Structure 1
Amino acid sequence: MDALDDANRRNRLDGIDRVIAAGSRSTEWNDLLIAPPPWYVDGKFGIFIHWGVYSVPAFGSEWYPRNMYRVGTPEYDHHRATYGDQQVFGYKDFVPMFRAERFDPNEWARIFSRSGARFVVPVAEHHDGFAMYKTALSRWNAADQGPQRDVVGELAEAVRAQGLTFGVSSHRAEHWFFFNGGRSFPSDVDDPGALDLYGPAAREETQPTTAFLEDWLVRTCELVDRHRPELVWFDWWIEQPAFEPYLRRFAAYYYTRAEEWGQHVAINYKFDAFKPGTAIFDVERGQLAGIRPEFWQTDTSVSTTSWSHVEPQHWKRPLDLLGDLMDIVSKNGALLLNIGPKADGTIPAEEVALLETIGSWLAVNGEAVYGTRPWIVPGEGPTAVAEGEFTDTQRQAFTDRDIRFTTARGDLFATVLGPVTGTEIQIRSLGSDLSLLPTDIQRVDLVGPNRPKLTYRRDPDALRVEVPDEASRDLPISFRIRPERPAIRDRVKHLLAD
């Protein structure tokens, strides 16, 4: 049975309330305002990790545990053909098969460091209810079953040893309904010995009970206390009305704990689950059309197929991911890029190569990314960026006329998103007839360690920069533009304040 009985839950809830009462924050929204941490606003790029029991079947997506119980889905048919009847072989039976025998957290952390990422966020618990960390609140966790290792704890130590910031994600809210398909036909979802894994399995349109919400709060606070993450990422279902007071209690607890520990922390949310200014807005697999005054984030995956490892997998190109990164950063955002390790704990070679390509590019062009802020306009070019979630595969490929601007230390950076086809780049936003840059240009450089000075001319309709032979033709190119009067950032601050 579930370790979180009524007495245990009540004791833990009382402890949460005592921490809040002793702190400087109440549970009212106006007392939960928080500034985005400097590590986040300056870091811009992080790694997300979807890895769990669902990596064993490696079919469809990380929603395999739900869909294998939904009659008529490909997962349902695949499961019966491959593993047998769901009453005989259910999702719980994948747990012993999830051995993670080749999981090396130090190697993972080295890969993430080479990618140029500044923060790392593994999924601590997905909708399936299997915790990837040691917990006293459920026997269904990676330290006691499957790998028999505290995956999140080991990864936290390895990531921090590389100088990266560590966060976690919680998708437990959706556990309320996740396995409800297994109630529509004979399956092990009704097995009395596994009810603590499969959970309520209630209808999606119902609101969670008080017991479920209290359980969610206690588990999430325990996760914070065990691993002291500097970022807690929440998936979409927390915007349900019943969660609202529990979100406020969690934020008050987490922010109070962070103040005790001297940490700069943040919470991610989607839609309108949190009030503006109390957490960081996140857009899943999508972007924004323009600059958002408040810092925000996109979470997306290296693949178009799934968040977790599946076979076959379809990966995005480094060119497209770097273009998305620069588009997001130019609009005051950060990119949380997901990978999906295999069940044995190895990261697919294709994903390692992709991350290393990104890292090599950032090693040269990071000056246009890290520590930057948006300019007066995010950019220019013919390729439209659709706004909103699940739009990451809807736009056309960026061209060499698609340019994004960032600024730092008085310099303006212009990054060409598409592969360069000619010998000259035209930046129309910087034409001398426009008021966006009302000062002469001192010099234009190619961003990088050697910083070669480039030939350019400024016409009324565009700044025209000659592309040197050493510039990349396959990945984005970043130019540093140094104005005579470095007043760019002051103008941007004024613009965003308005």
Structure 2
Amino acid sequence: MPLPHPARVAAVLLASCSALAVAAPAASAEYLPTRASLDRHVVPAWYSDAKLGIFVQWNGSSVPAYAPTRRGQRVGGFPYTGVSNYAEWYWRNAAFSGSPQQKHHARKYGARVTYDDLVKRWKGERFEPRRWLQLFKDAGAKYFVLVAKHHDGVALWPSKVSDRTTVKMGPRRDVAGELMKEARRFPSLRPGLYYSITEWFNPAPNPSLTPDAEDSASNSLLWKATAPNLVTGKPVPYTGYKPVSDYAKGLVVPQIRELIRRYKPQVLWCDIGGDADYYQSNRWISELYNTVGDRAVVNDRCGRTAHSDYTTPEYSIYEEVHREPWEATRGLGFSFGFNAEEERNDNYVSSDYLIAVFTDIVAKGGNLLLNVGPRADGTISPKQASRLRDLGRWIRVNGQAIRGSRPWTQARDDGQALDASPERPGPDQSTLAPGDRVVGFPFDKPTGTRFTVKPRAFYILRMGWPGSKLRVRAAVPVREGDRLTLLGNGNAPLRWTREGGGLVVSMP
């Protein structure tokens, strides 16, 4: 019997299992800007229970909305050319002579149009925060993260230390403020903000950047260039810049404190963290906790030695169950920002793929932070929205196996091959345990069976309908007298038997 649309994964419930141990939250106390103090912070239950968040990347790059792609390209796995795929990296990539973005800019806009001229064309005239948030809720998300400032340095709020903001440029609106205010009408969605610590072309002195730095966050060849004309290469003004004597003290620290004090985000999502001492990362992380409370979380990109609550593999997942909090992040295609090429060629993952990889991530103990890239006018394309709604419909049927669940001792059934792409670049991981190894998203939809648990409940999630019999090889904790039911199919018990240490379930 088919499951209710779009229930493409069959979720089977087992009751009367052993209760899970749940960490008790630490007693609330003022946090000091030290690792010893900050590391007392316990990841709040809401975050571990949420499973799905929505990332929103929206800036001036939505005007050219360009990164190279091709029809029929497989959009699982790791981006085939790394950040060159990212439409939101348009300015930086177009600054490289001979790049596809540079050729595109010369052909479409010419030398008279700078990146900041494109920002001026970014109007957001159809931006309606309520529509965004309703879509995120319909997708089954429990939190969202708005990119409040990306690497182009344009802040989406009225910053006191810079006029390079959406109040002075582009939409002429407090985009972050409007979205955060409207979020009060959606109490089931926890609000979050992303902040890029480093900028590509900010002219402020930044002694943390060196030309021979091993990590990209401190490499001046990438982050300390002069803002260029994208055809001639000649320097152009960095619109809205207010001169400061030091990049961290004059811009980064005050801007992050503005975000914390103005909007009180429950998720602070940093990027390109670099030198934590230079950026005073632990100081403003302590301010976040002391201002927002223990419900706040911060990711692992605020600085090399900064405190963090969870890891954030990008276009990547852990190979097996990872016991520490983690969050996989990716777009529906290979860009975070809107890419008209992806839209035209339908280079988005399918709803089936999305549901399957989401299930795989949850079974390994992670969250999925799924990105949408609005168009320059502020609307989210129907192709992107349809994937989100399909995921939401599946969660409404099968969410009992997802929300508030925790990983079992293994993520997938015995004998099943790893669903992953080996193409992810990075350091050698051969000495790491499987649960600590990071691999690329699978090129194709994951298959097989996954497991999750709750107190007194065990869930078997099958990728696709198994036919008349669901066979599980793993020694799942089903005992005589336990009752199995199919989510979305009423409460009728299913017949089951043991077979060779595994389980055979008769499907309705």
Taking structure 2 as the reference length, the TM-score comes to: 0.76
| 442, 449, 459: which one aligns with 1:413 | 459
Deviations for 1:362-406, whole angstroms, at most 9, x for unmatched residues? 00000001011111222222234358967544444322xx21111
- After the TM superposition, which residues 470-481 of structure 1 pair with which residues of structure 2 at under 5 Å, given as runs? none
CA drift of 1:210 comes to 4.7
Partner of 1:223: 259
Matches of 2:394 and 2:450, distance apart in 1: 16
Deviations for 1:282-325, whole angstroms, at most 9, x for unmatched residues? 1111110122222111111111x311111221100122222221
Contact 2:161 2:255 in 1 (8 A): yes
| 385, 405, 410: which one aligns with 2:420 | 385
Query: In the superposition, relative to structure 1, how do residues 310 and 345 fare at CA in structure 2: closer, same or farther (>3 Å)?
Result: same
Matches of 2:421 and 2:249, distance apart in 1: 35
Query: In the superposition, relative to structure 1, how do residues 359 and 186 fare at CA in structure 2: closer, same or farther (>3 Å)?
Result: closer
Between 178-187 and 115-124, the greater mean CA deviation after superposition: 178-187
Deviations for 1:31-76, whole angstroms, at most 9, x for unmatched residues? 1121112221111111001111110000111100111221110111
Partner of 2:281: 247
Matches of 2:398 and 2:34, distance apart in 1: 42
- After the TM superposition, which residues 416-427 of structure 1 pair with which residues of structure 2 at under 5 Å, given as runs? 416-417=462-463, 419-420=464-465, 422-427=467-472
Aligned length: 420
- After the TM superposition, which residues 457-468 of structure 1 pair with which residues of structure 2 at under 5 Å, given as runs? 457-468=497-508
- After the TM superposition, which residues 150-299 of structure 1 pair with which residues of structure 2 at under 5 Å, given as runs? 150-163=174-187, 164-175=189-200, 177-178=222-223, 180=225, 182=227, 190-192=235-237, 194=239, 196=241, 210-212=246-248, 214-235=250-271, 237-238=272-273, 240-241=274-275, 243=277, 246-259=280-293, 264-270=295-301, 273-274=304-305, 278-299=308-329
Partner of 1:363: 396
Secondary structure of 1:120 counterpart? strand
CA drift of 1:279 comes to 2.1
Between 187-196 and 405-414, the greater mean CA deviation after superposition: 187-196
Matches of 1:347 and 1:55, distance apart in 2: 11
- After the TM superposition, which residues 328-367 of structure 1 pair with which residues of structure 2 at under 5 Å, given as runs? 328-367=361-400
Secondary structure of 2:312 counterpart? strand
CA drift of 1:127 comes to 0.4
| 74, 97, 103: which one aligns with 1:77 | 103
| 324, 328, 335: which one aligns with 1:306 | 335
Matches of 2:409 and 2:276, distance apart in 1: 40
CA drift of 1:242 comes to 5.7
| Overall identity of the aligned pairs, in % | 27
Q: What is the identity, as a one-letter code, of the residue corresponding to 2:197?
A: R
Q: What is the identity, as a one-letter code, of the residue corresponding to 1:92?
A: D
Secondary structure of 2:340 counterpart? coil
CA drift of 1:215 comes to 2.0
Matches of 1:275 and 1:383, distance apart in 2: 33
Contact 1:378 1:404 in 2 (8 A): yes
Query: In the superposition, relative to structure 1, how do residues 150 and 192 fare at CA in structure 2: closer, same or farther (>3 Å)?
Result: closer
Q: What is the identity, as a one-letter code, of the residue corresponding to 2:241?
A: D
Contact 1:406 1:414 in 2 (8 A): yes
CA drift of 1:194 comes to 3.2
Matches of 2:228 and 2:121, distance apart in 1: 24
Query: In the superposition, relative to structure 1, how do residues 271 and 92 fare at CA in structure 2: closer, same or farther (>3 Å)?
Result: closer
Partner of 1:403: 449
Contact 2:330 2:371 in 1 (8 A): yes
Matches of 1:185 and 1:55, distance apart in 2: 17
Partner of 1:442: 482
Matches of 1:396 and 1:346, distance apart in 2: 29
Q: What is the identity, as a one-letter code, of the residue corresponding to 1:265?
A: A
CA RMSD of aligned residues (A): 2.7
Matches of 1:360 and 1:185, distance apart in 2: 44
Secondary structure of 2:104 counterpart? helix
Secondary structure of 1:282 counterpart? coil
Structure 1 segments unaligned to the other structure (5+ residues): 1-22, 201-208, 431-435, 469-498
Matches of 1:323 and 1:244, distance apart in 2: 41
Secondary structure of 1:111 counterpart? helix
Contact 1:69 1:181 in 2 (8 A): no
Hey, which of these two has a bigger chunk of helix by percent? 1
Matches of 1:266 and 1:456, distance apart in 2: 42
Matches of 1:342 and 1:453, distance apart in 2: 48
Query: In the superposition, relative to structure 1, how do residues 211 and 181 fare at CA in structure 2: closer, same or farther (>3 Å)?
Result: closer
Contact 1:120 1:166 in 2 (8 A): yes
Query: In the superposition, relative to structure 1, how do residues 388 and 79 fare at CA in structure 2: closer, same or farther (>3 Å)?
Result: closer
Query: In the superposition, relative to structure 1, how do residues 312 and 293 fare at CA in structure 2: closer, same or farther (>3 Å)?
Result: same
CA drift of 1:438 comes to 6.9
| 54, 61, 64: which one aligns with 2:61 | 54
Partner of 1:494: none
Taking structure 1 as the reference length, the TM-score comes to: 0.78
Residue 101 of structure 1 pairs with residue 125 of structure 2: yes
Secondary structure of 2:483 counterpart? strand
